[in-house]
């Protein structure tokens, strides 16, 4: 059954749907001589620097193969800001022009894409939502707004679907939209939208008679936000450049096919002449995920590209000539194909910067451990000694949905087993470590 197939139970049911959200924006179309089009700055949460266009100094592909993630290393110039190991930057992205064209064609507004407009707050509205929109009261165009400010690649939320249902003529389409945003349709919404990571663009194109006014979309679509990336280098090596590591996000069931930012980075790299390309980015406020200034023992946990900030940690310690106990738990699929920076990590071991390098290989038949969690359990006794007798700090970097939770649950198990405490007490130990800034996380969705 497809999303638009109708079942007999749907035909008879009246769904409990949310109330329509209030309208608070309107669009004024201007004449060609009504002012100059103004530059619009994309929202930059947690920014501690200005947005700067910087050159790509070099880039290289790190992995090859159908069953492993396509991963790259990139170096960017950095002329204006200082940073610390563990800091992050936000890379600005743009909506692809071909996707804007498809959306505008569906909405019947392609001819209006470059008309001068102003987006205004409605006079009778007391909402302050508009304050977050960088294009309010500015001379701009619909194309500019959708290119820089509106996220059409996120999954549609229920309130947005409720709005769409109000502007859909076909009764079958309207009923499906009402089901998706209803209380009764929660499982249907999860299975068809969230689990499939369906984008708003792909979603609205399925509903041929759905044609909402642009102000309603601007009110309810999320903002297009910069993508955060961990810096994988030390400023002591060169403060004038930073290194990033990224894997290309695959989105096979969508128009986009690949993540917006990682797909953009890949495209720039594969076109060649990277020295002629530039990226706009800014430095983000630190969340505390930084290297301690003393030689306190460290337990670093980062599978895949989660190793990025730890490369900066280790490089920094080497250049500082600070030697202390550091254990790194890393994970990948194959030793020979996606063990990122194997040579560099072994050099850190040989030079005494890295005390233990413990790697799990999830697809190797003879591997002692499949996942990072397996190795944490394997070395549980030593880890307990580092935490409780040497005041070690734990750093976890990686995926928030699974990896971050799995690692935290593993520590709860370790505390239960080795400290002889209850599950509740073990959970409280983790919470206390987090409160004391001895269990730090840099997680992404």
CATH number of the domain that 199 lies in?
1.20.990.10
User: Do 197 and 271 belong to one domain?
Assistant: no
Locate 430 and state its tokens. 């983790």
**212 and 143 share one domain:** yes
The CA distances from residue 312 to 127, 320, 400, in Å, are: 45, 12, 21
What strands lie across the sheet with 241-247, from one edge to the other? Answer: 227-230, 88-91, 278-283, 52-61, 71-77, 241-247
Which pLDDT value is given to residue 405? Answer: 95
Residue-level pLDDT, tens digit, the chain, 445 residues: 466 665 545 554 689 999 999 999 999 999 999 889 998 988 899 999 999 999 999 999 999 988 999 999 999 999 888 999 999 999 999 999 999 999 999 999 999 999 999 999 998 777 666 567 999 999 999 999 999 999 999 999 999 999 999 999 999 999 999 999 999 999 999 999 999 999 999 999 999 999 999 999 999 999 999 999 999 999 999 889 999 999 999 988 888 899 999 999 999 998 877 877 889 999 999 999 999 989 999 999 999 999 999 999 999 999 999 899 999 999 999 999 999 999 999 999 999 999 999 999 999 887 788 999 999 999 999 999 999 999 999 999 999 888 999 999 999 999 999 999 999 999 999 999 999 999 999 998 7
- Main-chain phi, psi angles of 438, to 5 degrees: -115, 5
d(CA 183, CA 112): 37
C-alpha to C-alpha distance for 428 and 406, rounded to whole angstroms: 16
CB 179 within 8 A of CB 144: no
Structure tokens at 335: 């030793």
What pLDDT, on the 0 to 100 scale, is given for residue 11?
Answer: 54
| 208 and 306 housed in the same domain | no
pLDDT at 6: 53
Phi, psi values for residue 288, rounded to 5°: 95, 0
Domain boundary among 240, 257, 283: 283
Question: Same domain for 85 and 122?
Answer: no
Q: Do 190 and 339 share a structural domain?
A: no
291 lies in some domain: no
Work out how many domains the chain is built from and give that number. Answer: 3
To which residue do tokens 């002692």 refer?
368
What is the structure's pLDDT at 271? Answer: 85
| Dihedral, 393, 398, 401, 402 alpha carbons, nearest 10 | -80
Work out the angle between the directed axes of helices 158-165 and 171-181 (0-180°, nearest 10): 160
Task: Please answer whether residues 307 and 372 qualify as being in contact, where contact means their C-beta atoms are separated by less than 8 angstroms.
Answer: no
For residues 176 and 27, state if they share a domain: yes
Q: Which two tokens stand for residue 399?
A: 């995926």
DSSP string, 236-254: TT-TTEEEEEEEPPEETTS
> Which CATH number belongs to the domain containing residue 59 in this structure?
2.40.30.10
Give the model's pLDDT for residue 72: 97
Q: How far is CA 98 from CA 103, 106, 110, 213, 260, in A?
A: 9, 13, 12, 20, 13
At 166 the pLDDT is: 97
Instruction: State residue 132's pLDDT score.
Output: 78
This prediction has a pTM of: 0.92
Whether residues 15 and 149 share a domain: the answer is yes
Torsion-angle region of 321 (φ positive above 0: left; ψ -120 to 50: alpha; else: beta): left
How far, in Å, CA of 94 to CA of 442, rounded?
25
Host domain of residue 173: 8-41+95-220
Indicate the SS3 state at residue 444: strand
Q: Based on the domain organization, do 336 and 396 belong to the same domain? A: yes
* Helical packing angle, 308-320 and 342-350, nearest 10°: 30
Give the integer Cα–Cα distance in Å for 41 and 411: 42
Cβ contact 117:25 at 8 Å: no
Q: Report d(CA 135, CA 322) in Å as an integer.
A: 49
Query: Which pLDDT score, from 0 to 100, does residue 196 have?
Result: 92
- What phi and psi values does residue 202 have, to the nearest 5 degrees? -65, -35
Q: Does 437 fall in a domain? A: yes
| 324 shares its domain with 438 | yes
Sequence-distant (≥ 6) Cβ neighbours of residue 206 within 8 angstroms? 3, 4
Which pLDDT does position 58 carry in this prediction?
A: 92
Q: CA-to-CA distance for 150 and 164, rounded, in angstroms?
A: 16
Please indicate, yes or no, if residue 288 is contained in any of the structural domains: no
Q: Are 3 and 9 in contact (CB under 8 A)?
A: no
**Same-domain pairing of 207 and 230:** no
φ, ψ for residue 56, nearest 5 deg? -90, 115
The closest alpha carbon to 88, from 243, 229, 225, belongs to 229
Q: What are the strands of the beta sheet with 356-361, ordered from one edge?
A: 356-361, 326-332, 298-301, 393-399, 439-444
Please say whether the dihedral angle defined by the alpha carbons of residues 186, 189, 192 and 196, taken in this order, is positive or negative: negative
Residue 1 belongs to a domain:
no
């Amino acid at each position: 059954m497809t999303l638009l197939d109708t079942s007999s139970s749907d035909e008879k049911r009246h769904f409990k749907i949310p109330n329509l959200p209030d309208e608070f924006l309107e669009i004024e179309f201007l004449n060609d001589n009504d002012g100059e089009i103004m530059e619009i700055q994309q929202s930059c949460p947690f920014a501690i620097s200005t947005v700067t266009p910087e050159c790509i100094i070099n880039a290289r592909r790190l992995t090859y193969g159908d069953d492993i993630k396509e991963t790259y290393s990139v170096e960017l110039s950095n002329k204006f800001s200082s940073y610390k190991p563990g800091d992050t930057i936000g890379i600005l992205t743009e909506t692809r022009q071909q996707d804007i064209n498809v959306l505008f064609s569906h909405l019947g507004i392609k001819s209006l894409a470059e008309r001068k407009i102003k987006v205004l707050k409605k006079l009778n509205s007391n909402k302050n939502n508009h304050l977050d929109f960088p294009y309010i009261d500015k001379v701009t165009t619909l194309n500019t707004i959708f290119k820089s400010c509106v996220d059409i690649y996120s999954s549609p939320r229920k309130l947005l679907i409720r709005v769409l249902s109000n502007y859909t003529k076909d009764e079958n389409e309207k009923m499906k939209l009402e089901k998706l945003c209803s209380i009764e349709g929660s499982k249907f919404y999860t299975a068809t939208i969230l689990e499939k990571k369906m984008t708003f663009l792909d979603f609205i194109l399925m509903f041929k008679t759905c044609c909402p006014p642009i102000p309603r979309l601007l009110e309810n679509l999320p903002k297009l936000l910069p993508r955060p990336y961990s810096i994988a280098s030390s400023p002591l090596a060169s403060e004038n450049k930073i290194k990033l590591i990224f894997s290309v996000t695959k989105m096979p069931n969508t128009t986009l096919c690949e993540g917006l930012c990682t797909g953009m980075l890949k495209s720039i790299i594969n076109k060649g002449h990277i020295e002629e390309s530039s990226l706009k980015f800014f430095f983000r406020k630190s969340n505390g995920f930084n290297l301690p200034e003393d030689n306190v023992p460290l337990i670093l946990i980062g599978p895949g590209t989660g190793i990025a900030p730890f490369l900066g940690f280790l490089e920094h310690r080497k250049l500082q000539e600070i030697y202390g106990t550091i254990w790194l738990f890393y994970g990948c699929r194959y030793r020979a194909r996606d063990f990122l920076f194997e040579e560099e990590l072994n050099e850190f071991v040989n030079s005494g910067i890295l005390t233990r390098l413990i790697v799990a290989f999830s697809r190797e038949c003879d591997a002692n451990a499949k996942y990072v969690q397996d190795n944490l359990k394997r070395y549980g006794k030593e880890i307990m000694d580092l935490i409780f007798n040497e005041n070690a700090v734990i750093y976890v970097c990686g995926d928030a949905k699974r990896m971050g939770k799995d690692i935290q649950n593993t520590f709860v198990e370790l505390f239960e087993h080795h400290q002889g405490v209850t599950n509740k007490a073990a959970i409280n130990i983790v919470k206390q470590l987090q409160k004391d800034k001895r269990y730090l996380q840099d997680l992404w969705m």
